């Protein structure tokens, strides 16, 4: 058991450094999408929620697990969709004139 | 290869996509691809989990799981798809909060599940930390959401002895954790849950105004840590990696954000910044100085004679939905051969980078958006600085007045331009609740009214002129 804990702790430590290293040079204009994107990633708790509902054997565990899956799904789906919508705005220039032209026609 | 090994390999794949996604989100070109990568990795992890064995049997309640996912899906997609861009910050807050709630529920359920097996102390500790952090993130995010959605006042809420009370609740939570570790009592778990909930609320109440986005970033990191704690309990490397990634990068991001406002993180969290606002609605101050105001037509003429114009947009622009009209104004001026660019303060809008998103949505060309430092050197040669719905980000008190609460915050030096024009709704101070000396500067002209209305009138006047 102790060895397993040590293995997890190793993963934890290394990931902390990766996490810090990887976003150290992000330009400030991308802070909001980055926050939103990492928000979606912690939605991985959905996997944990599925496991606890999948192993539930009392009513209490079933109810809590069911709620957890709903909340975690909201987190995953909402997180990725919102981030994508934000990043859609940063599309390359070639796509821009078309959208602008369409708008002018509409007006 | 056994089933479990295959599933673990797929989890490893997912964890890798998360790292690559965060990396991709750091560059404008690869950001969208990065997000897609993470979404794909997440899908792989979820599908793989359906084939997992727990306690030696396949997952129970598969239909319940699918039903719960379906409910989540039909709520989340329309909300995420159709909420206005200006409401993004509160949306991120609420999606973060539910994640924290889920992490907390996972930890509670796991505690109830494993309690009969007399788990090792460190396992119980992981569970309790998961409950504490997850619940604080949940209730804290809910309050942050309410503040941004204006369901309650956006200003800091303070009361006497606040920090002492917060300290006591925090210590009580720790005491309960220690007691549960010793006695492994289930009823006390519910006490911890309640205490954590209260702690989240009272922790967030004194944080207001422009600090809320920094807070959301911190709560985002909290949820990551709660997920990592659940990962320890469930023995899942995937949850540990993903949660820790978000936790570590989130805390760094939070620090970067407070730095962009020229403040320390602890100052953001504990100083109840902007609570002692005594904003007067009057156009004259106690010392009798008044401001100069003009009509949109006056400003159109001023702009017509300029050769270089800088727009300094703030959240007020977004509130009035004036981004498109502002771009139109820029296009009209460019037709007359006037050079136009947008000076973007890193914390303009309600989140760092929010303004870029809003302007990009209005089809403002990316190369016209200039970041603060570059903007400040360009402003010296500008004829007009047009401040639309911004206030604190151009307040010279940040450089001049050592007693000002925003002293030290980097600002856009609008006062370097030949003329300064403010489009404002009223004389009310901005988010931080501080008087702006620049409004009384002889160079400055104010145009009162809704930013979008004023801009529309200015476009018409420029076209006619």
Find, among B396, B342, B344, the residue nearest to B364 by Cα.
B342
Name the residue of chain B whose CA is nearest to A7's CA: B237
| B82, B102, B119 - which closes a domain | B82
Kindly state whether residues B64 and B131 are assigned to the same domain: no
Of A23, A56, A57, the CB nearest to B22: A23
> Percentage of chain A with pLDDT > 90?
54
Q: How far apart are CA A10 and CA B27, in angstroms?
A: 29
pLDDT for res A100: 44
The full DSSP string for B104-125 is HHHHHHHHHHHGGG---HHHHH
Residue B281 lies in a domain: no
B5 vs B352, higher pLDDT: B5
Q: What stretches of B261-409 show up as alpha helix (H) in DSSP? A: 265-270, 296-304, 315-319, 323-335, 354-361, 372-379, 397-400
Burial B127-143 (b: 16+ CB within 10 A, else e): bbbbbbbbbbbbbbbbb
Kindly state whether residues B94 and B144 are assigned to the same domain: yes
Kindly state whether residues B349 and B408 are assigned to the same domain: yes
Kindly state whether residues B329 and B252 are assigned to the same domain: no
For B96: left if phi > 0, alpha if psi spans -120 to 50, otherwise beta; the answer is alpha
Note whether B132 and B173 are within 8 A (CB): yes
Residue A21 lies in a domain: no
pLDDT for res B283: 41
pLDDT for res B274: 56
Structure tokens at A27: 């330009």
In sequence order, which residues have a C-beta less than 8 Å from that of residue B103 and are 6 or more positions away?
Answer: A42, A45, A48, B130, B133, B134, B137, B223, B226, B227, B229, B230
Q: Enumerate the β-bridge partners of residue B420.
A: B385, B444
Q: How far apart are CA B73 and CA B71, in angstroms?
A: 5
* Per-residue pLDDT tens over the stretch B149-191: 888 887 888 888 888 999 999 999 999 999 999 888 888 999 9
Q: How far apart are CA B23 and CA B203, in angstroms?
A: 31
Kindly state whether residues B245 and B141 are assigned to the same domain: yes
Residue A8 lies in a domain: no
Note whether B261 and B345 are within 8 A (CB): no
* Per-residue pLDDT tens over the stretch B332-346: 999 989 999 999 887
Kindly state whether residues B128 and B216 are assigned to the same domain: yes
pLDDT for res B450: 86
Number of domains in chain A: 1
| Residue B124 vs residues B159, B171, B199, B222, B356: alpha-carbon distances, Å | 35, 19, 21, 19, 45
Question: Could you tell me the pTM of the whole model?
Answer: 0.80
* Per-residue pLDDT tens over the stretch B384-438: 999 998 888 888 888 887 777 777 778 899 888 989 998 888 776 666 667 788 8
Rg (CA), chain B: 26
Kindly state whether residues B100 and B119 are assigned to the same domain: yes
Angle at B177 between CA B171 and CA B178, to 5 degrees: 90
Q: Grade residue A99 by pLDDT with cuts at 50, 70 and 90.
A: very low
Name the residue of chain B whose CA is nearest to A27's CA: B26
Q: Across all residues in chain A, what is the average pLDDT? A: 83
**Chain A contact probe: residue of B10, B13, B24, B25 with most A CBs at under 10 A:** B25
Domain of residue A99: give its range. 27-106
How far does CA A19 lie from the centroid of its chain? 14
3-state secondary structure A33-64: HHHHHHHHHHHHHHHHHHHHHHCCCCHHHHHH
Kindly state whether residues B223 and B359 are assigned to the same domain: no
**CB distance A62–B357 less than 8 Å?**
no
Residue B195 lies in a domain: yes
Residue A14 lies in a domain: no
Residue B286 lies in a domain: no
Domain of residue B318: give its range. 296-464
Q: Enumerate the β-bridge partners of residue B387.
A: B312, B422
Residue B283 lies in a domain: no
**Chain A contact probe: residue of B142, B248, B325, B355 with most A CBs at under 10 A:** B248
Kindly state whether residues B157 and B10 are assigned to the same domain: no
Q: How far apart are CA B115 and CA B164, in angstroms?
A: 34
Residue B282 lies in a domain: no
ipTM above 0.90, yes or no: no
Q: How far apart are CA B218 and CA B305, in angstroms?
A: 47
Note whether B110 and A56 are within 8 A (CB): no
Name the residue of chain A whose CA is nearest to B11's CA: A47
pLDDT for res B238: 95
In A7-46, the residues whose Cβ lies within 8 Å of chain B are 8, 11-12, 15-20, 22-46
| B276, B310, B327 - which closes a domain | B276
How far does CA B441 lie from the centroid of its chain? 32
Q: How far apart are CA A22 and CA A34, in angstroms?
A: 11
Of A5, A74, A83, the CB nearest to B76: A74
Residue A100 lies in a domain: yes
Q: CB distance from B225 to chain A under 8 Å?
A: no
pLDDT at A55 over 80: yes
Q: Across all residues in chain B, what is the average pLDDT? A: 87
> Distance from B282 to chain A by nearest Cα, in Å?
35
Burial B212-251 (b: 16+ CB within 10 A, else e): bbbbbbbbbbbbbbbbbbbbbbbebbbbbbbbbbbbbbbb
pLDDT for res A1: 52
Q: Enumerate the β-bridge partners of residue B388.
A: B313, B423
Q: Torsion over CA of B52, B57, B58 and B61, rounded to 10 degrees?
A: -120
Number of domains in chain B: 3
Name the residue of chain B whose CA is nearest to A66's CA: B68
**CB distance A82–B80 less than 8 Å?**
yes
**Chain A contact probe: residue of B76, B229, B323, B371 with most A CBs at under 10 A:** B76
| Residue B453 vs residues B63, B300, B311, B393, B448: alpha-carbon distances, Å | 53, 14, 16, 23, 10
> Distance from A25 to chain B by nearest Cα, in Å?
7
B297 vs B260, higher pLDDT: B297
Which DSSP state fits B421?
E
Residue B456 lies in a domain: yes
Residue A19 lies in a domain: no
Kindly state whether residues B120 and B269 are assigned to the same domain: yes
* Per-residue pLDDT tens over the stretch A14-44: 999 999 988 877 777 788 888 999 999 999 9
Kindly state whether residues B202 and B163 are assigned to the same domain: yes
Of B39, B55, B246, the CB nearest to A38: B246
pLDDT for res B280: 37
Residue A65 lies in a domain: yes
pLDDT at B372 over 90: no
Contact residues, chain B, for A95 at CB < 8 Å:
none
Secondary structure (3-state) at B433: coil
Residue A55 lies in a domain: yes
Residue A44 lies in a domain: yes
| B50, B82, B114 - which closes a domain | B82
């Amino acid at each position: 058991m102790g060895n397993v804990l040590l293995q997890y702790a190793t993963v934890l430590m290394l990931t902390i450094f990766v996490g810090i290293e990887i976003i150290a040079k992000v330009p400030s204009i991308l802070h909001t999408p980055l926050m939103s994107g990492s928000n979606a990633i912690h939605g991985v708790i959905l996997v944990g929620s599925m496991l606890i509902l999948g192993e539930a054997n009392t009513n209490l565990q079933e109810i809590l697990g069911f709620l957890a899956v709903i909340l975690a799904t909201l987190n995953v789906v909402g997180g990725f969709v919102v981030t994508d919508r934000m990043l859609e705005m940063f599309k390359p220039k070639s796509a821009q004139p078309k959208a602008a032209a369409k708008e002018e026609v509409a007006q | 290869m056994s089933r479990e090994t295959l599933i673990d390999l797929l989890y490893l794949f997912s964890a890798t996509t998360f790292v690559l996604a965060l990396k991709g989100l750091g560059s404008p070109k690869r950001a969208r691809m990065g997000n897609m990568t993470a979404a794909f990795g997440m899908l792989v992890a979820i599908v793989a989990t359906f084939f997992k064995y727990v306690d030696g049997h396949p997952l129970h309640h598969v239909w319940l799981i699918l039903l719960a996912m379906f409910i989540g899906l039909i709520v989340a997609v329309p909300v995420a798809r159709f909420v206005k861009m200006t409401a993004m910050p509160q949306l991120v807050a609420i999606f973060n909060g539910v994640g924290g709630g889920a992490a907390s529920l996972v930890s509670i359920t796991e505690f109830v599940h494993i309690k009969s097996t007399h788990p090792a102390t460190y396992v119980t500790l992981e569970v309790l930390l998961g409950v504490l952090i997850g619940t604080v993130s949940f209730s804290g995010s809910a309050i942050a959401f309410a503040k941004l959605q204006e369901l309650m006042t956006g200003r800091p809420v303070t009361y006497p002895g606040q920090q002492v009370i917060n300290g006591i609740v925090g210590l009580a939570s720790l005491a309960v954790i220690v007691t549960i570790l010793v006695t492994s009592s289930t009823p006390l778990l519910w006490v911890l849950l309640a205490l954590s909930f209260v702690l989240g609320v009272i922790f967030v109440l004194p944080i207001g105004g422009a600090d809320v986005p920094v807070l959301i970033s911190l709560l985002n990191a909290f949820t990551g840590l709660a997920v990592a704690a659940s990962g320890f309990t469930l023995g899942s490397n995937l949850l540990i990696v993903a949660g820790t990634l978000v936790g570590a990068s989130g805390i760094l991001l939070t620090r970067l954000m407070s730095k962009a406002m020229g403040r320390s993180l602890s100052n953001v969290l504990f100083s109840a910044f902007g609570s002692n606002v005594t904003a007067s609605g009057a156009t004259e101050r106690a010392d009798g100085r008044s401001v100069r105001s003009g009509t949109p037509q006056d400003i159109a003429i001023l702009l017509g004679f300029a050769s270089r114009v800088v727009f300094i947009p703030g959240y007020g622009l977004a509130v009035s939905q004036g981004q498109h009209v502002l771009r139109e104004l820029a296009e009209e001026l460019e037709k007359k051969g006037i050079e136009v660019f947008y000076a973007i303060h890193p914390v303009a809008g309600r989140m760092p980078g929010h303004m870029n998103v809003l302007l990009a949505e209005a089809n403002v060309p990316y190369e016209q958006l200039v970041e603060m430092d570059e903007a400040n050197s360009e402003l010296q040669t500008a004829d007009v600085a047009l401040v639309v719905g911004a206030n604190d980000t151009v307040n010279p008190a940040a450089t001049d007045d050592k007693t000002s609460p925003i002293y030290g915050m980097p600002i856009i030096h609008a006062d370097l331009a030949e003329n300064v024009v403010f489009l404002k709704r009223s004389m009310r101070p901005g988010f931080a609740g501080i008087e702006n000396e620049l409004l009384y500067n002889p160079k400055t002209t104010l145009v009162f009214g809704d930013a979008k209305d004023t801009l529309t009138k200015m476009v018409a006047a420029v076209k006619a002129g």
